[in-house]
């Protein structure tokens, strides 16, 4: 607590928390976005790994929960399964919040990218991460949740409806500014002919009643058709869920997502970083940024 009190309240810090189900592309995105922000936008940035079972980091984390605790050692020492061990690790992190904060204070001038574990319950009804985010918010960390959903789910109406519900409940639980992302959009585009609707249908999340027509009329599904209709109505009534498609190999795609995230966490207004439309556009087509061209320090 003493550490928390020592932090100056006038300073503002910015970052994004990359969440989403297992295999949705979080770690890949964190590595790509780190390179993109650093090399193309000249933004001072660091990645923080909060996944205690992260095996394939394509970045060098500045802070790594695996230095504090790992799923593997908890499984061995406490005889827990992988899910239980992961929950234990995250609760341990909450108890040792000062361990995280101490290191965050060393990188105060950097934009932060948090690579998170994939277990969905951490974001729908477990409280530890929510508490950690709340503590950071009180310390002027302006964070945006970037929620990755594998666009593979667009290929199946019931799965897409479940995905929408997951996004909505995560938004409510995590209670941070939220940007929903359909990851692996390259695969979506490649398989566009196999989809029931155009890409906009899945990103804009409008007219969902069309999905209901596609649910088969089998005995089981029939019974739940009314429930599905009610769920779809609820999602539309909230009007909160929409997606930005992401192909991590495309700079244009990374740039579009960056703009949405910067608006959501206030980076664009609060950081002092000034960018012109021209700079963003030149970046989108892979040309030199304004920063590189005029050697202006935006940070
Ligand atoms: N085609 C395609 N594949 C991707 C993309 N992003 C990630 N992948 C692949 O998806 C798989 C899972 O990616 P990860 O980044 O490990 O996913 P994750 O969400 O971090 O997974 P967990 O940490 O296990 O929850 C890997 O094989 C990636 O290469 C993308 O934009 N397009
Ligand atoms: Mg990962």
- From residue 118, alpha-carbon distances to 21, 46, 74, 97, 107 in Å are 5, 20, 18, 20, 25
pLDDT tens string 123-138: 998 999 999 999 999 9
186 lines ligand 1 (CB under 6 A): yes
- Quick check: CB of 120 below 6 Å from ligand 1? no
Regions of the chain with pLDDT less than 50:
274-299
Tell me the CA–centroid distance for residue 27 and ligand 2, in Å.
Answer: 4
In this structure, what CATH number is given to the domain that contains residue 177? 3.40.50.300
Predicted local distance difference test score (pLDDT) of residue 281: 46
Domain count, the chain: 1
Global pTM value: 0.86
Taking the alpha carbons of 135, 179, 28, 288 in that order, is the dihedral positive or negative?
Answer: negative
Tell me, what's the pLDDT at 10? 66
Residues forming beta bridges with residue 244, ordered by sequence position = 181
Is the separation of the CB atoms in 7 and 18 below 8 Å? Answer: no
Ligand 1 in contact with 119 (CB < 6 A)?
no
Residue with the two structure tokens 């970037």:
146
Ligand 1 in reach of 53 Cβ (< 6 A): no
In the Cβ-directed half-sphere of 8, how many Cα atoms lie within 13 Å? 6
From 19, 22, 23, mutation site for ligand 1 pocket: most ligand atoms within 8 A of C-beta: 23
Within a domain: 221: no
The domain of 247 spans 12-195+241-273
With respect to residue 2, please indicate whether it lies within any of the assigned structural domains.
no
In a domain, 235, yes or no: no
Q: Which two tokens stand for residue 55?
A: 């095996």
**DSSP H helices in the chain:** 2-6, 26-35, 71-78, 82-95, 97-104, 121-124, 128-138, 157-174, 185-190, 199-204, 209-214, 219-223, 225-238, 251-265, 267-270, 277-284, 290-294
The tokens of 238 are what?
């909230």
Residue 204 within any structural domain of the chain? no
For residue 214, being part of any structural domain is answered with no
Residue in 129, 133, 134, 211 with CA at minimum distance from that of residue 165 = 211
């Amino acid at each position: 607590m003493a550490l928390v009190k020592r932090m100056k309240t006038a300073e503002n810090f910015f970052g994004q928390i990359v969440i989403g189900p297992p295999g949705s592309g979080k770690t890949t995105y964190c590595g790509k976005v780190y390179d993109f922000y650093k090399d193309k936008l000249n933004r001072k940035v660091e990645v923080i790994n909060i996944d205690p079972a992260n095996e394939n980091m394509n970045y060098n984390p500045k802070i790594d929960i695996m230095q504090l605790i790992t799923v593997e050692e908890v499984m061995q020492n406490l005889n827990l399964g992988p899910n239980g061990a992961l929950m234990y690790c995250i609760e341990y992190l909450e108890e040792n919040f000062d361990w995280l904060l101490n290191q965050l204070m060393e990188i105060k001038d950097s934009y932060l990218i948090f690579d998170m574990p994939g277990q969905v319950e951490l974001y729908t009804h477990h409280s530890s991460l929510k508490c950690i985010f709340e503590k950071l918010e009180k310390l002027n960390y302006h964070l945006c949740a970037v929620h990755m959903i594998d666009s593979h789910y667009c290929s199946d109406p019931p799965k897409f409806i479940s995905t929408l519900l997951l996004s909505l409940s995560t938004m409510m639980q995590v209670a941070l500014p939220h940007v929903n992302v359909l990851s692996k959009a390259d695969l979506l585009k490649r398989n566009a002919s196999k989809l029931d609707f155009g890409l906009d249908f899945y990103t804009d999340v409008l007219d969902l009643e069309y999905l209901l027509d596609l649910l088969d009329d089998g005995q089981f599904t029939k019974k739940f058709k009314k429930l599905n209709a009610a769920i779809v109505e609820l999602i539309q009534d909230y009007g909160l869920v929409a997606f930005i498609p992401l192909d991590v190999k495309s700079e244009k795609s990374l740039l579009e997502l960056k703009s949405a995230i910067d608006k959501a966490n206030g980076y664009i207004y609060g950081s002092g970083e000034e960018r012109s439309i021209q700079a963003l556009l030149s970046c989108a087509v892979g040309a030199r940024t304004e920063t590189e061209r005029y050697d202006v320090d935006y940070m």
